[in-house]
Amino acid sequence: MAASGMKVLVTGGAGFIGMYVSRALVEEGHDVIIVDNLNDYYSPELKCDRLMRLGFEASVGDKESCTSSTYRHLSFIRGDIVDKSFVMDVFGRYRPELVVHLAAQGGVRYSLDHPDIFIQSNVVGFLNVLEASRCYLVKHLVFASSSSVYGLNGKQPNSPHDSVSHPVSLYGATKIADEVMAHAYSHLFGIPCTGMRFFTVYGPWGRPDMSPFLFADAISKGTPLKVYNHGRMRRDFTYIDDVVSGVMKICHRPPQSDASWDNRLADCATSSAPFAIYNIGNTHPVSLEDYVKAFEEALGKKANKEYLPLQSGDVLDTFSDMSDMERDFGFRASVDVQEGVRRYVMWYRKYYDR
């Protein structure tokens, strides 16, 4: 028996955001296929534990494909989007109407030492998804971008309508490449494409290379907590529940061609093609010092802070302009940093003290 909604393919569905989005989609009544390669950039055990939260067996990491025991219309396929024949086969077999592309190699600093991996996963892999979307007439391709695209653009808040021509990391550059490739396919083949620039997403089940884990772990253990640029940085920390809410709203509204689009202005968030770019952020940037303080309060311990210079590839501030999301979807983030950190710490203690 088929689900009542759409056929949806989620790439990177064992990832942090992917797990939550997959669950939201299947609970809404869609037939969801997760694709993930379960690579070892960080613990595959954490990825498998996420899949187990979705009703897959403990042995999911050893299987090529399986179906959730909790959700009848949720399936998992192990494979790499860099393998074009694999991507084409999945699209050909399942014929997804909606594709939510979240698979990518993350980590700004990791990109400094492993550039080839980023080009393969984030550029070649996305090209394969675009090609398959073209061949199998996908009705809406929703894809993850990042606030890292803003790079040296010092205008605050960061607007999706502004220039992103000066990235400061290869990771950011690959996300810009994804956006412009998606626009080309949208223009050439009429594929409705929506890019989502995520702003420092955090919450339970997050990656262990991201600041919430690093902060909670260092403070809990009393080890030095590295605070870069001597704490003089701000991030628009966005809680996972708000991110998923934004993604779901975008999934249900494919972009339309903008007949009033003026090519002399070259606004990169809209187009004469069925293409759009949105920020998904909190709109309340928080300094690193205040972020550390939130963890100290949640954990009931003081941090042993080690102040260090700015790292290569980092930007000083991120601050999302969410006016387009509010106008088009009535969306506004609702979880502040204090509450989000409190929820994260509760999960951290439960998961890592097992």
CB 213 within 8 A of CB 207: yes
CB 160 within 8 A of CB 305: no
DSSP assignment string, 117-183: HHIIIIIIHHHHHHHHHHHTT-SEEEEEEEGGGGTT---SSB-TTS-----SSHHHHHHHHHHHHHH
CB 325 within 8 A of CB 331: yes
Active site annotation includes 291: no
Active-site choice (42, 171, 278, 344): 171
Contacts of 268 (CB under 8 A, 6+ apart): 160, 161, 162, 163, 164, 179, 183, 277
Question: How far is residue 143 from each of residues 36, 148, 176, 219, 230, measured CA to CA in Å?
Answer: 15, 15, 12, 35, 34
SS3 labels along 4-21: CCCEEEEECCCCHHHHHH
Q: Can you list the alpha helix ranges (DSSP code H) found in the chain? A: 16-27, 44-53, 84-94, 110-113, 115-118, 125-135, 170-189, 211-221, 240-251, 288-299, 323-329, 337-352
Q: d(Cα 288, Cα 181) in Å, to the nearest integer?
A: 34
CB 186 within 8 A of CB 194: no
Residues designated catalytic: 171
